Amino acid sequence: MDIDDIDRAILKALQKNGRITNADLAETVGLSPSACSRRLDILEKSGVIEGYTARISPEALGYKMVAIVQISLSGQFARTLAEFEEAVKRCPNIIVCYMVSGVYDYTLRVAAKDLKDYERIHRDWLSALPHVVQINSSFALRPIIERINVGID
């Protein structure tokens, strides 16, 4: 889908405030409410807008630490990767899981309440994932930048 300047303006406004009313969004981007609604519908149906969500503070829920976990598997066979990826989806503390190139096969971001909680996650979840041969954990000291969306020019 080609994204024009009006679509970009809609996306920028939604990134700033996902709860903006259609009337306010239309005014912001210089469209009528019906034209804005049609464009928004197209952006949603085409997959440009993947969904809407509330950002909830992990700390407010007691998750005070983040671990960056790098995992190596026993091989790169399709079945090995599929079994690992299905299992990793079941762990509620894994916030993000990326397949990566380089020394490790996957990089995860894991939320934990404290070191004791991370030990539990490591023991009960990470070490139990299929085909894992190495786990390397680092702990985030503080975020420098944490974007939820890519920049829109």
Instruction: Give helix then strand counts, H and E, for the chain.
Output: 5, 4
Distances (CA, A) of 58 to 81, 138, 145: 29, 18, 16
Q: Any idea where the domains of the chain sit in the sequence?
A: 5-45, 59-139
Write down the CATH number for the domain with range 5-45. Answer: 1.10.10.10
Per-residue pLDDT tens digits for 98-115? 999 999 999 999 999 999
Mean pLDDT across 63-82? 97
Name the CATH topology of 59-139: Alpha-Beta Plaits (3.30.70)
Confidence of residue 153 (pLDDT cuts 50, 70, 90): confident
pTM for the model: 0.83
